[in-house]
Amino acid sequence: MPKIIIENLNHLEIISAEPNRKVIELIHESYIDWMHACGKKGRCTTCKMIVMDGIENLSAPNEREEFFRSKGRLNNFERLSCQAKLQKGEIIIRVAEENKFPHMEYSE
């Protein structure tokens, strides 16, 4: 079963019964706030996630992610959670510092 671990949210675990789902959908279905200013359309980078481990378990970067990578707004271990699909296995991610909500408590 695909699994997401959000490292700087106290290693919160999200387990999905279905593979090939967008990461942000799985996060929001678990009632966790995650920024997405453009409405999950891949038009900004506010839903960016830092992938600490398991990047090979995500779908390949799409056109929107490559666009932001070419502009220097995503590095090789950052993905848009609204575009990346968790296909299998486990990923360990972090909320990017600039995308943290002030009302949430983050861990190190």
The answer to the question of residue 105 being in a domain is no
Looking at residue 31, its pLDDT comes to 96
Range of the domain at 81: 3-99
Q: 91 with 56: CB under 8 angstroms?
A: no
pLDDT confidence of residue 21: 96
pLDDT < 70: residue spans in the chain: none
Contact 99, 37 (CB under 8 A): no
Question: Which pLDDT belongs to residue 38?
Answer: 92
**79 near 49, Cβ under 8 Å?**
yes
Per-residue confidence (pLDDT) for residue 39, from 0 to 100: 87
- Enter the pTM of the model: 0.94
Within a domain: 75: yes
Tokens standing for residue 81: 């959670």
Q: How many residues does the chain have?
A: 108
Which pLDDT score is estimated for 22? 97
Is residue 67 in some structural domain? yes
Give the tens place of pLDDT for each residue, 32-47.
999 999 989 999 999 9
Q: What pLDDT score was predicted for residue 94?
A: 98
CA distances from 105 to 9, 44, 49 (A): 7, 24, 17
Instruction: Round to whole Å and give the CA distance between 46 and 100.
Output: 9
Q: Considering its fold, how many domains does the chain have in total?
A: 1
